[in-house]
Structure 1
Amino acid sequence: MQRHIITTADGSKTIQIEEWNEQYHSIHGAIQEANHVYIAHGLLFSLETNGFTKTDKPITDEFGTLSILEIGLGTGLNSFLTLLEAEKYPVNIYYQGVEAFPISEEEQGALNYVKELKVDHKAALFNRLHSSAWEQEVELTPHFTLHKQQLLFMDITDKNKFDLIYFDAFGARVQPELWTVAIFQLMYDALKTKGVLVTYAAKGSVRRAMQEVGFSVEKLPGPPGKREMLRAIK
């Protein structure tokens, strides 16, 4: 499929699939959407409920671990934002990103997240996030371990492993098979008890599929350009 880089409303880039008229992130703002859905309502919510407290002081206490599964590693924006935000907390992040069709080196080079986030000193980390080996656990920082897996979402077999899932698959309009009871059963099984799943989606059929497998689901205000989003708890 033809993919090309576009600029979203907040100035950050994303990738568009022409045949589907579908983007990896919201055209209303890639960074804005990721921060709202996955960081504010996913990562920060999970850190708080698991007892991790933000601090401006040097972290000297023993670190606990928060395990995250991302469904659709894509451009690496969600993982990069997670890495940056988690540095403010006494937490080790284990981050497993699943992607069936990784982006190219050329596409990665056209993304402007480092510039837009004003974190030039983290450019090497963003590059390493993409260049690190697949199917291996790679320590990007002393407190952030990345495990990239190239496989289809329906082939995920993890059980009771994750505290948090970023469900960032392409929309149900173009890939309805990724928003079914069968897929959400895999997500439910992969989460620990009280684990959290967040997604930009808010369709009634998606919410009902989540509830059918046992999730407790709440609607939350959506990111710019979207009225609602969903957060589900096991």
Structure 2
Amino acid sequence: MEQLALSTIKSHHVDQISTLKKEPEWLKQFRKNSFAIYESLPTEVSPLYNKYTDAKRMNPAEVSLVTDSQNSIFEALKPRLAELEKELHIIQTGTNIFRINLPEELKSKGVVISSINDAIQNHGLDVKKVLDSSDPNEDKYTALNNAAFNSGIFVKIPKNLILEKPIHIISCVSPDGSSTISKNIIIAEQNSKASIVQELYAPKSATQQAY
């Protein structure tokens, strides 16, 4: 598990992510173009961004990134996960998917809940359409997310389907002290309806972590 400070990330590190995950050529190029934009932009380009975010509190030299983090849950989170055991959910810890609960009935109707890595392989056209519609020039960290995401979640609700129960997305910073650059994509097709509840958790840590 190679650790890399955010302040030292270079284009070849972005290439390594694509290579390790065996990504298609279009995504490799998308990452490369996004990283070039990341390098060219100032930290913040919008006055509103500057006013309403805490980006300046993050020290890139202290934020550690990895391609594959520890796949475990910290103790304080286990009671919450027990509560969700029978609910529609996906649990991400660091760069890994810890658990998915999607009943066969909903799978047969076309509902998809998966890691972004699986979605790139199995629903590549959907992922490409969403990524191509994003604007990496919006700000520096949008470009970084597009270039260097190392994990994420994909949800797709097919047309004319209404989900009565919410989908819970549980995102946990890894207990090993590393940070995560997560790309979450949610697609709701025509006349579909679903509620998404995302919860973010982090263990106590002496290091600076980001998600």
Per the TM superposition, whether the score is higher than 0.5 is: no
TM-score by length of 1: 0.25
More strand by share: 1
Higher Cα Rg, which structure: 2
